Structure 1
Amino acid sequence: MSATQPGLSLVILRNVPLFSGLDDHELEKLAKLAGRKRVERAATVVRAGDATDSLYVLISGRAKVTNTDEEGREIILAWLGPGEFFGEMGLIDGSPRSANVVAAETCELLFLDKSSLQQCMQENFQVAMKLMKILVLRLREADRKIESLALLDVYGRVARLLLDMSELVEGNRVVKKKMSKQDMAKMIGASREMVSKVMRDLELSGYIRIENDLVVIPGAA
């Protein structure tokens, strides 16, 4: 864990949606308080139950937010990519970390301690508002996942996951983020074998295509 150059932090913070409303002077003040760290693949960045001390911003790489069920099996709650942040909830309510965040590949991270973030929100109402909006969005996404688990069968859950993870590319929806069948199973509460069967059935039925290891959903604009 180390400090980073304010100029570099400024560039990074400017591209983080949470801080996009700040001017360069405000970003410079925040950048001077930021630190930077690198974590290797499979390393745990934060652990459920630990005290919350910092907000983390992902500069590069991918990370997964996980928890475990009563039998100790891993559940994937979300995937994070560059520009996304985590660790904010405990900084607001003072509670311990609610989930694990694990590096899915080598990651570069920027971090701000609790007092720096709270000062930023007190001085910049738009940051506090944007944080609330992002938290509401994440709550809505959590509600959708709960609804899927309660109301949809495995076919429906796989289909919704693919649509949620996809991007619009030339009239088709494309899942650019590579996910193993095991990871998909951990996200929707199913077995890897069942997910593999559903993916085969969807492909044979023409609902999806596999092109260069990417999942294409034809005509689902």
Structure 2
Amino acid sequence: MERATQGTAQRGTYGIGERQPSRFLGSLSEEAREELLSIGSRRQYPPGAKILVEGAPADCLMLLETGYVKVTRKRTNGHEALIAIRAGGDVVGEMAVIDGAPRSATVTAGEDIDVHVIQRRATQKFLGKYPEATLHIMRLSNCRLQSANSWRIVFGEFPVRVRLARVLAELAENHGESIGSHTLICVELTQSELAALIGSGERAVQHALAGFRDAGVVRTRNREMAVLKPDRLRAIGLLPPIGR
């Protein structure tokens, strides 16, 4: 499929309920950003590579340069549940580096990614020199916590259909690519991952998706998902129209 290069939605960080908060690198001063990028090493990972593992020691911080990653945590039954998506310009593994606790989640490459890796000691030295960076990390952490708390309320107030519409609308906004009048979601998610994101069962997601397809709101094909009627999807999710 040929994809348009113009009108592409900016791909940013995504977590349950987040609406593209400021990317970490973009929030730093030019001086701080250049120094941070000078003290680490650049690595590349293929799709499926686990770049951080839940429970492992916090030995480094990672800056995502290109691509996206999936953030998962283990359930009590041992299965991993998707809790967030992060993309280029974002940071992962930052809190464990600051507080020294083991990794609280596993981070897996969703596609080919470029990552800037900064060891813990170098990170702490950098944060001591640039307090602004520490402040931005704390703000980012607070934003993610507020987002998670907001979604706990949504889980209890709204049915699966509304929650799924919200997630798909935000995925299209934050990780979408315009192709004519449609928006292709540039993140591959299984139905079980969508179910984990919205706190529901997989069968309920299948039923809701079927309804969206029948109504011409979304299209699924060959592991791709496109939003055909964004305003209708947002209305189902009880979200304001785009631009408001």
Which band: TM-score by shorter chain?
Answer: 0.7 to 0.9
> Greater shift after overlay, 31-40 or 133-142?
31-40
Assess, with a 3 A threshold, how the Cα gap between structure 1 residues 209 and 18 changes in structure 2: closer, same or farther.
closer
Show the counterpart of 1:129: 135
| Maintained 8 Å contact 1:157/1:188 | yes
Amino acid at match of 1:74: E
Is the CA contact 2:97–2:120 (under 8 Å) kept in the aligned structure 1? Answer: yes
Equivalent residue in structure 2 for 1:209, among 212, 218, 223 = 218
Percentage of matched positions with identical amino acids: 23
Q: Distance in 2 between matches of 1:216 and 1:126?
A: 41
Distance 1:97 1:18, change over 3 A: same
Cα offset for 1:177?
2.9
1:124 CA drift (Å)? 1.7
C-alpha distance in 2, partners of 1:54/1:67? 19
For the pair 1:47 / 2:56, whether they are aligned, the reply is no
Distance 2:186 2:153 in 1: 23
Residue 51 (structure 1) shift: 0.7
Q: What is the aligned counterpart of 1:197 among 194, 207, 213? A: 207
Relative distance call for 1:199 and 1:132 in structure 2 (3 A) is same
> Counterpart amino acid of 1:181?
Q
Q: Which amino acid aligns with 2:100?
A: G
- TM-score for the superposition, normalised by structure 2: 0.73
Taking CA–CA contacts closer than 8 Å with sequence separation of 6 or more, which of the two structures ends up with the larger relative contact order?
A: 2
Q: Give the Cα–Cα distance (whole angstroms) in 1 for the partners of residues 184 and 192 of structure 2.
A: 16
For residue 143 of structure 1, what is the aligned residue in structure 2? 149
Counterparts of 2:162 and 2:75, CA distance in 1? 22
Structure 1 CA distance, aligned partners of 2:42 and 2:97? 19
Q: Does residue 117 of structure 2 align to residue 111 of structure 1?
A: yes
Distance 2:215 2:85 in 1: 28
Shift of 1:174: 4.4
Secondary structure of the corresponding residue to residue 228 of structure 2? strand
Q: What do the CA deviations read for 1:35-90 (whole angstroms, capped 9, x no partner)?
A: 12222221211111111011101122221000121112221010111111100111
1:165-203 residue CA offsets vs partner (Å, 9 max, x unmatched): 23297xx99463333323212222333332121012133
Separation in structure 1 between the aligned mates of residue 63 and residue 198 of structure 2, nearest angstrom:
26
Instruction: Tell me the residue number matched to 1:176.
Output: 185
Asked if structure 2 preserves the Cα contact closer than 8 Å seen for 1:30 and 1:116, the reply is no
Structure 2: stretches of 5+ with no match in the other structure: 1-21, 232-240
Q: Mark the runs of 5 or more structure 1 residues left unpaired by the alignment.
A: 1-15
Whether contact under 8 Å (1:44, 1:102) holds in the other structure is yes
8 A Cα contact 1:19 1:127, kept in partner: no
| TM-score, reference length from structure 1 | 0.80
The one-letter code matched in structure 2 to 1:68 is K
SS at match of 2:138: helix
